[in-house]
Structure 1
Amino acid sequence: MTYIVGLTGGIGSGKSAASAWFEQQNIVVVDADVVAREVVEIGQPTLVEIQRQFGKWVLEPSGALNRTALREYIFQYPEARKQLEAITHPAIRQSIIQQLTQAQSPYVILVSPLLFETKQHLMCQRSLLIDVPIALQLDRASQRDGQSRAQIERIIATQMSRKDKQQLADDIVDNSADLAQLYQQLQPLHQTYLRQSQLLDN
């Protein structure tokens, strides 16, 4: 049985930096965002179903998904978000499970910004929250993504509250400082996950 650690955090929290560190320790990382992009690539049944439900306007001239148009649409119409998630979430979940079971490392990290919202944490033995204050999220995400603070605030508003995530997470890492301090906190957790994964195997 694969020992799975779910890694989550809000936009700008440093999930990518944390998951990259685990990869450097030779731990397989399955990224839900990457999977979400894979299941809607040209030729995938999920993309065909999205077009069937929403119309041809969701596609670029190349046939690829027009992410910007679709993102703006679901922000305006909350019901459309539910409709889209009903199509994409089962496909994403199936692909994630397949990749997790094929992982060849002592344990595996599932990175997902919506780990708790989509109940993906129920697939995991442990959950790790990369946590930062909202003001810092806004600063980092707006500098990194080139999006306005208003756009970042809209994204944060659609996600589970920081407090609720803190209550659900098994482990919490404060990433308010620099990368060195982030890595310093991840090291003992890595050792813990290695020990726990060995217990699962025995």
Structure 2
Amino acid sequence: MGSGKTTVANLFADLGVTIIDADIIAREVVAPGSVGLQQLVEHFGSEMLNADGTLNRAKLRQIVFAETAQRLWLNQLLHPMIRQRLLAQAKAAASPYAMMVVPLLFENGLECLVNHTLVIDIGKAVQIRRTIDRDHVSQAQVINIIDSQISREQRLAKADDVINNEGDVESLKSQILALHNNYLKLSEKAQ
């Protein structure tokens, strides 16, 4: 959260890499008229909907990060739907390798879906500031969300590769290009 996953993914996409974004898929599975949204409303009530019939994400986030049991229920509902779409999009990828952008990859045991993991790393203070600025939420809520995830140290220990995203854009692009060239070589060996 707040690490720059989308920015990094967009830069890989500029290099022709197929990007499969779990956040986009997560929005699709709870779009108006979807089974996911219908089940959310049945569980939490119609107050989870905005006036236009879309999911009130801020309200849902508030509930699930305050109550572990509700977060677990939500994960059990949505994760199978999201996983199915992730795999279908990966299978349809046209580039030499595809990149899945998956927040909470390790927390949800989804690293088994990929051959290689890349972590976008930033310090906690930067992460908090970026998330507050982007989402207009309280510092307490951001810290609560961060604390519900594995630690930075655990995440880094599990990563095959790490991009440090605290520098300038040129540094980021340089790291991405080096990784892209390595991933192309890895994909050639895998075929």
Q: Per the shorter chain, which TM-score range? A: over 0.9
The aligned residue for residue 170 of structure 1 is 160
Whichever residue aligns with residue 104 of structure 2, its letter is L
- Who is 2:190 aligned against? 200
Q: Distance in 1 between matches of 2:80 and 2:32?
A: 18
- Cα deviation, 1:11-45, whole Å, max 9, x if unaligned, reads 22111111111000010101111100000001111
Query: Which of 117, 131, 137 lines up with 2:107 in the alignment?
Result: 117
The residue type paired with residue 30 of structure 2 is V
Once structures 1 and 2 are overlaid, which stretch shifts more, 120-129 or 153-162? 153-162
Preserved CA contact (<8 Å) 2:97 2:183: yes
Which residue does the alignment assign to 1:29? 19
Partner of 2:90: 100
Residue correspondence of structure 1 range 1-202 to structure 2 within 5 A: 11-201=1-191
The residue identity in structure 1 corresponding to 2:173 is Y
Residue 55 of structure 1 deviates from its aligned partner by 2.3
Kindly state the Cα deviation for residue 148 of structure 1 after the two structures are TM-superposed: 2.8
The Cα shift of 1:112 comes to 1.1
- Cα deviation for residue 147 of structure 1 reads 2.5
Unaligned runs of 5+ in 1: 1-10
Structure 2 unmatched ranges of 5 or more: none
Structure 2-normalised TM-score? Answer: 0.94
Q: Flag the structure with more relative contact order, 1 or 2, with Cα contacts below 8 A and sequence separation at least 6.
A: 1
| Aligned residue identity for 1:89 | H
Q: How many pairs align?
A: 191
Deviations 1:52-93 (CA, angstroms, capped at 9, x unpaired): 222222223332222222221222321111111111111011
Q: Percent identity?
A: 37
